[in-house]
Amino acid sequence: MYQDLIVVIVDKYLSEDVMRFAKSAGARGGTILHGRSIDLKSLKKVFNLSIEPEKEVVLILSKEEDTDSIIKFIDEGLKKSFNHQGIILVLDVLSALG
């Protein structure tokens, strides 16, 4: 059985919605990581303090045959609900344990 790792990068507070969209397409669950953007163009200064945009990364392990459906639901859900696309990547998983 081949598997994919779906990686979705969205603005803070959108990860729960990403999981809702993914589960409606058959995903069983996922992992949410919190981070900050390091894009220097988006770095803002307020009162001489740097403000870095916070991001959330959603990791979803899926069966290869379910991946297209899951990413389509996520993409359409983000566009309709938030006029926001985020970034969606799919990586092949050669092996996984645990």
Condensed to tens digits (0 to 9), the pLDDT of residues 34-63 reads: 988 776 666 666 666 666 678 999 999 999
Separation of alpha carbons 2 and 74, rounded Å: 21
What is the reported pLDDT for 43?
A: 64
Taking the model in full, what pTM does it have? 0.85
Separation of alpha carbons 4 and 66, rounded Å: 9
| pLDDT at 31 > cutoff 90 | yes
